Amino acid sequence: MLRDPSIKYRPFPPIVLPDRQWPSRTITKAPRWLSTDLRDGNQALIDPMDAEKKQRFFDLICRVGIKEIEVGFPSAGATEFDFISGLVRENRIPDDVTVQVLTQARRDLIDTTFESLRGAKTGIVHVYNAVSPAWRKIVFGMSRDEVKQIAIDAAMMLRDNAAAQPDTDWRFEYSPETFSTAEIDFSVEVCAAVMDVLRPTADRPIIFNLPATVECATPNVYADQIEYFCRNIPNRDAVIVSLHTHNDRGTGVAAAELGMMAGADRVEGCLLGNGERTGNCDLVTVAMNLYTQGVDPGLDFSDIDEVVKTVEYCTNIPVHPRTPYAGDLVFTAFSGSHQDAIKKGFAAQEAKNDTLWEVPYLPIDPADLGRSYEAVIRVNSQSGKGGVAWVLEQDKGLKLPKRMQADFSRHVQRLADESSRELNAADIWGAFVQAYRLEQPQRFALGAYDETRAPNGDRIFAGSIEVDGVQQSVSGRGNGLISSVVAAIKEGFGIDLDVSDYAEHAIGHGSGAQAAAYVECRTPDGRTIWGVGIDEDVATASVRAILSAASAVE
């Protein structure tokens, strides 16, 4: 890299718009959405989609609720043309969906493009030519007027071809390609010239799609360009201002959002941001960003995993695990402090009376995207007691008392350090079984027992306990079941435990419900031991918990 990059790169010149309004606006409604997955997205693939994949992607786009779909570039070749004309011929376009087709501004290509939609009820023909200085100078060697004339000629061809196929309700889209790097007054001038030919009205507006073909500036500059365009294009009512951002600087979504604030009506992009180079604007992110501000995007991503699966299948490109809203890891916390806060957040969310979402570290409820809570917290060597307790609760329904969480997390930490890998729910359950001596056969196996009351109200525990394969009858007396069991094991096995804490809860509901009991015990030599019992019967669970603690004493 250069010590002085200014000898090679220049800063993008700002737009002069001192009274810009967009910074103090907020987005309060969804834009019109256009998916260009089957065109811009497809053009960027190593292996462009075949007809089967295109149809699958088309169905997905319809399912999520996008009503305008750019289905391809019909003049590019037979695969494209046949897929598009097949959609029309075989009546595969839902009534509420309008397909859009792209063409360069050349007569033969425009003719083929109209031909591909012959018989369609509606269709948007999208024509483009590049307008910025670098393209004019380097690619075409043309003046501003010559470039403008290309757009005017294309508009006349659109008008005439549409008139020759009057059974279709034609709409037009014009893109001054490379808009974001062009002189803004020239972009307006070219679009105005296109309007002079096509004469749009508020009832039959033209779409002016303003691409950041290559993203070259901070997103505020794009917003300035959009606001300038909206203010200066004649007959604004007859224009749908459409955004088409790419992501070269990593701000494609931000540019689209600021562009909406600046007055645009429509957003073009791809699901999960596939597209040339660093991709097109990610429509899932823009839509879900609106959703998290309380604005209905009008799209349905409630099964985001299905979206990811289909996009990966059709594009043959894996979705990054950190992709906003959709990646495998975006609702997962590994770090202990995050896990703790999330766990508290879920508990507070459950306890409060309103539905407003307020869970630390989770900007959205994963359930809204069809994601389960299980994956929210995952355990590795960075995790803490809250995370471990969460996994146990989600997986086994066990709600460990606070101090026991700390005790168990030490066991899990040791395992995570030893194994240097993520621990799954089965690993954590294995560690729990081992830590609290729940493996079968247990050292003390509870047989039949009875609990009776003495005349003074004391409880008497009498039962059989198998120790190392040998049945033994024991009994003990105390002011409750727990103390009577503690007395019985002292009497029968010489094990002296002082119970300092006890907790129990149900696991599940209805006929399959079980009970879990936890005891914290002190031994005469000052050790703290935890015991756990699980049984269909809550009293038996507590007896088992004492036996689990007793089995830690040699």
Residues contributing to the annotated binding site for Mg(2+): 40, 244, 246, 280
Which residue is it, tokens 């591909």?
116
Select the binding partner of residue 128 from Zn ion, ligand KIV, none (C-beta < 5 to 8 A, by kind).
Answer: ligand KIV
Contact criterion met (CB below 8 Å) for 382 and 335: yes
The only residue of 213, 289, 413, 540 in contact with ligand KIV, by rule CB under 6 A:
213
Which residues neighbour 184 within 8 Å (Cβ) at sequence distance 6 or greater?
Answer: 15, 225, 228, 229
DSSP 240: E
Q: Considering beta carbons, is residue 40 or 407 the nearer one to ligand KIV?
A: 40
Interface with ligand KIV (CB under 6 A), residue total 9
Q: Considering beta carbons, is residue 39 or 371 the nearer one to ligand KIV?
A: 39
Which of 206-214, 319-327, 404-412, 447-455 is the region at the interface with ligand KIV (rule: CB under 6 A)?
206-214
- The least CB distance from residue 35 to Zn ion, in Å, is 12
Which residue is it, tokens 């250069």?
2
Q: Which two tokens stand for residue 143?
A: 């003046």
Which of 205-213, 439-447, 449-457, 506-514 is the region at the interface with ligand KIV (rule: CB under 6 A)?
205-213
- Determine if 40 is a binding residue for ligand KIV (CB under 6 A): yes
Residues 201, 202, 204: CA angle, nearest 5 degrees? 60
| 3-class state of residue 141 by DSSP | coil
Q: Which two tokens stand for residue 87?
A: 């959609």
User: Could you give the CA distance from residue 411 to residue 415 in angstroms, rounded to a whole number?
Assistant: 6
- Determine if 285 is a binding residue for ligand KIV (CB under 6 A): no
- The least CB distance from residue 37 to Zn ion, in Å, is 12
Contact criterion met (CB below 8 Å) for 246 and 215: yes
Q: Considering beta carbons, is residue 113 or 383 the nearer one to Zn ion?
A: 113
- The least CB distance from residue 267 to Zn ion, in Å, is 12
Q: Considering beta carbons, is residue 128 or 408 the nearer one to ligand KIV?
A: 128
Q: Considering beta carbons, is residue 177 or 520 the nearer one to ligand KIV?
A: 177
- The least CB distance from residue 179 to Zn ion, in Å, is 11
The only residue of 171, 244, 266, 378 in contact with ligand KIV, by rule CB under 6 A:
244
Q: Considering beta carbons, is residue 130 or 546 the nearer one to ligand KIV?
A: 130
User: Could you give the CA distance from residue 506 to residue 76 in angstroms, rounded to a whole number?
Assistant: 65
Contact criterion met (CB below 8 Å) for 40 and 70: yes
User: Could you give the CA distance from residue 330 to residue 249 in angstroms, rounded to a whole number?
Assistant: 22
Which residue is it, tokens 């079968």?
440
Amino acid at 409: S
Which of 111-119, 160-168, 208-216, 528-536 is the region at the interface with ligand KIV (rule: CB under 6 A)?
208-216
- The least CB distance from residue 178 to ligand KIV, in Å, is 6
Select the binding partner of residue 200 from Zn ion, ligand KIV, none (C-beta < 5 to 8 A, by kind).
Answer: none
- Determine if 209 is a binding residue for ligand KIV (CB under 6 A): yes
Q: Considering beta carbons, is residue 40 or 80 the nearer one to Zn ion?
A: 40
- Determine if 520 is a binding residue for ligand KIV (CB under 6 A): no
Select the binding partner of residue 285 from ligand KIV, Zn ion, none (C-beta < 5 to 8 A, by kind).
Answer: none
Q: Strands (DSSP E) along 204-324, which ranges? A: 206-212, 239-245, 266-269
- Determine if 274 is a binding residue for ligand KIV (CB under 6 A): no
- The least CB distance from residue 305 to ligand KIV, in Å, is 29
Tell me which residues touch Zn ion (CB under 5 A): 40
Q: Considering beta carbons, is residue 252 or 297 the nearer one to Zn ion?
A: 252
Q: Which two tokens stand for residue 134?
A: 């670098």
Extract the annotated binding site.
40, 244, 246, 280
Q: Which two tokens stand for residue 500?
A: 């300092």
Contact criterion met (CB below 8 Å) for 123 and 117: yes
- The least CB distance from residue 102 to Zn ion, in Å, is 10
Query: Could you count the other beta carbons within 10 Å of the beta carbon of residue 456?
Result: 7
- The least CB distance from residue 5 to Zn ion, in Å, is 27
- The least CB distance from residue 213 to ligand KIV, in Å, is 3
Select the binding partner of residue 175 from Zn ion, ligand KIV, none (C-beta < 5 to 8 A, by kind).
Answer: ligand KIV
- Determine if 180 is a binding residue for ligand KIV (CB under 6 A): no
| Terminal CA-CA length for the chain | 67
Closest of 214, 296, 299, 287 to residue 257, by C-alpha: 287
- Determine if 136 is a binding residue for ligand KIV (CB under 6 A): no
- Determine if 128 is a binding residue for ligand KIV (CB under 6 A): yes
Element (H, E) at 308: helix 304-315
Residues 268, 175, 199: CA angle, nearest 5 degrees? 110
> From edge to edge, which strands make up the β-sheet containing 470-478?
444-453, 459-467, 470-478
Q: Considering beta carbons, is residue 128 or 444 the nearer one to ligand KIV?
A: 128
Which residues neighbour 129 within 8 Å (Cβ) at sequence distance 6 or greater?
Answer: 104, 105, 147, 150, 151, 154, 176, 177
Query: Which residue's beta carbon is nearest to the bound Zn ion?
Result: 40
Element (H, E) at 315: helix 304-315
- Determine if 175 is a binding residue for ligand KIV (CB under 6 A): yes
Q: Considering beta carbons, is residue 205 or 476 the nearer one to ligand KIV?
A: 205
Select the binding partner of residue 209 from Zn ion, ligand KIV, none (C-beta < 5 to 8 A, by kind).
Answer: ligand KIV
DSSP state string for 529-541: EEEEEEESSHHHH
- Determine if 42 is a binding residue for ligand KIV (CB under 6 A): no
Q: Which two tokens stand for residue 352?
A: 């409060």
- Determine if 177 is a binding residue for ligand KIV (CB under 6 A): yes
- The least CB distance from residue 382 to ligand KIV, in Å, is 41
Q: Which residues bind ligand KIV (CB under 6 A)?
A: 40, 128, 175, 177, 209, 211, 213, 244, 246
